[in-house]
C-alpha cells in the first residue's frame, strides 16, 4: 500500500517549539482534494505515557525509559507502508499509485511525529525530518518557565549548543530528507509551517497526487 501524504518528523531539543509547530501545521494544511484532517499529530512523549510504552520512570531525571518496540508496533499501521516514487523517476507507476491511494483510510500516512528524538523511526517511514533550532539563551529561559530543574536545563542547553538532535538526524536519514529551521522569534513558527506546507504540496505534485 502506498501512502498519499508524507510522514513528517518534527524534532528538536525540548523547548524549541515542536508541539506548537506540529499542531499549527496540522490545523493549517489543506490538501487540494479537500481531505479533512489529512495530517495527524502524534505527540510521542504523550503517547508513551498514555499507553504505558515505557519500562520504568527515572525520578532523578524526570524521564521515562521508552519501550521503543512498543512505540514502533503502535505506529507501524498508521504510516501508510511506503511512499510513492516521483513520477519523473517512475512514470509507469502513476496509474497504480492512484489506484493504491484510493481507499487507504487509516493507512494513508500523513503522520506528524512530534518528539525530542528522531532516530527511532525506520528510514522507510520518513519523508521529511524538520529539526528546530533555538539560541541557547532563549532556550534556557523557556525551560525555566516550564519549571525544569537546573540539571535538566543544563543538559538540554548543552545538547542544543552541540547540535545533538541535528547530528542524530544526519546519522539516521538521507541529507535531502532533513531541513534545519530556526524556531526562536515570534514569527518563526508561522514561517516554518508555511515552508513545510509548501514542501507537502510539492511532494504530492511530484507524485501525481495533486
| Residues contributing to the annotated binding site for ATP | 15, 17-20, 146
Torsion on CA atoms 47, 50, 55, 61, rounded to nearest 10: 80
Q: Which of 133, 135, 134, 156 is nearest to 144 (CA)?
A: 156
> H helices of the chain, where?
18-28, 44-51, 68-75, 94-101, 136-145, 150-162, 164-172, 188-206
SS3 (DSSP) at 148 = coil
53 vs 60, 65, 81, CA distance in Å? 19, 9, 22
Binding residues: 15, 17-20, 146
SS3 (DSSP) at 133 = strand
Amino acid at each position: 500500500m502506498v501512502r498519499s501524504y508524507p510522514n513528517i518528523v518534527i524534532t528538536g531539543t525540548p523547548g524549541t517549539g515542536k508541539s506548537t509547530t506540529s499542531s499549527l501545521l496540522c490545523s493549517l494544511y489543506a490538501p487540494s482534494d479537500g481531505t479533512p484532517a489529512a495530517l495527524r499529530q502524534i505527540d510521542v512523549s504523550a503517547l508513551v505515557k498514555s499507553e504505558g510504552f515505557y519500562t520504568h520512570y527515572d525520578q532523578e531525571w524526570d524521564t521515562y525509559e521508552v519501550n521503543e518496540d512498543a512505540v514502533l508496533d503502535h505506529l507501524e499501521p498508521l504510516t501508510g507502508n511506503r511512499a510513492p516514487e516521483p513520477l519523473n523517476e517512475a512514470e509507469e507507476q502513476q496509474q497504480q499509485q492512484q489506484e493504491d491511494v484510493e481507499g487507504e483510510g487509516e493507512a494513508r500516512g500523513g503522520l506528524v511525529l512530534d518528539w525530542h528524538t528522531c532516530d527511532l523511526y525506520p528510514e522507510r517511514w520518513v519523508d521529511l525530518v524538520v529539526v528546530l533550532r533555538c539560541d541557547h539563551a532563549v532556550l534556557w529561559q523557556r525551560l525555566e518557565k516550564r519549571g525544569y530543574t537546573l540539571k535538566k536545563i543544563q543538559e538540554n542547553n548543552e545538547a542544543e549548543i552541540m547540535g545533538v538532535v541535528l547530528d542524530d538526524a544526519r546519522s539516521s536519514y538521507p541529507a535531502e530528507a532533513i531541513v534545519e529551521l530556526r524556531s526562536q522569534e515570534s514569527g518563526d513558527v508561522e514561517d516554518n509551517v508555511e515552508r513545510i506546507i509548501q514542501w507537502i504540496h510539492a511532494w504530492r505534485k511530484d507524485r501525481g497526487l495533486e
